[in-house]
Structure 1
């Protein structure tokens, strides 16, 4: 019976460690979810307005975010800190946002954002794009900290791993 209790305790400990490693990516996952739905809305509107160019750009970024989401979900099974697709997605999103802001100030904005009929809508889009840039920068810092082992969770995880109850 004592052996069985030890096995159960070991499994609980392993599950806790796995959960802690997965939690290192919590901020990235939340931001990714926000970006996913924002880009999904853009894609839906671009398709419904029959904007080929808008649909293409929204579709490309949507595929990249799906790949990043899958990669992040895989962290439940892997302890490595490799985030190749997540970095590609966030770099792409950052570039998109930087390029799209000046475009929103021109009449060409209707090609990419066909629903931006007025300058007020364009200003809302620019605000969203600026928030997106700030979010991307925050994620870049978070990824760098995780990959360099400087995130605040790693020390706690290592301590917990070494002190099995």
Structure 2
């Protein structure tokens, strides 16, 4: 391999490493979003199988937002990082819906949303617990997104350190 080819190969490796480092800033966010996508997909399937088509609107809406957020995450494999607008919108929407569902559960109005869960104390606690976990995960994602936007996340510091080391 000639010297010129080695330099080109090294440059490609560095570019790929930089893109990957920037992309990994959103690692946790991508997995939480996929988790919500799968949960909502299952919720839609269960409601469909239980003949509750009118209640499928909420998880279908969340699915659409989750798919758009996942597409946005997919397109972030680049050095030029943009703000994750759709991911932020998805997690805000998810938090609002989780809060609304908690309120509905408290007032015993959740049977049509979760016809597969018995309206009892255990069922109520289960639904509220699941919604609280969703709230916690979405709030963690929003905190992480804010850190990324302010360039105060650990991965960004690693990227800057790497960029400084390859310029030596």
TM-score w.r.t. length of structure 2: 0.92
Report the 3-state secondary structure (helix = DSSP H, G, I; strand = E; otherwise coil) of the residue aligned with 1:163: helix
What is the Cα deviation at residue 112 of structure 1?
A: 1.4
Asked whether the equivalents of residues 54 and 114 of structure 1 are also in contact (C-alpha less than 8 Å), the reply is: no
Q: Distance in 1 between matches of 2:7 and 2:17?
A: 15
Q: What are the Cα deviations for residues 20-51 of structure 1, in whole angstroms up to 9, with x where unaligned?
A: 00000001011111111111111111111121
Counterpart residue number, 2:127: 125
Count how many residue pairs are aligned between Structure 1 and Structure 2. 165
Report the 3-state secondary structure (helix = DSSP H, G, I; strand = E; otherwise coil) of the residue aligned with 1:25: helix
Unpaired segments of 5 or more residues in structure 1?
none
Report the 3-state secondary structure (helix = DSSP H, G, I; strand = E; otherwise coil) of the residue aligned with 2:166: coil
Q: Distance in 1 between matches of 2:105 and 2:48?
A: 19
Asked whether the equivalents of residues 94 and 133 of structure 1 are also in contact (C-alpha less than 8 Å), the reply is: yes
Give the aligned CA root-mean-square deviation in angstroms. 1.5
Counterpart residue number, 1:103: 104
Counterpart residue number, 1:47: 48
Counterpart residue number, 2:6: 5
TM-score w.r.t. length of structure 1: 0.94
Asked whether the equivalents of residues 18 and 159 of structure 2 are also in contact (C-alpha less than 8 Å), the reply is: yes
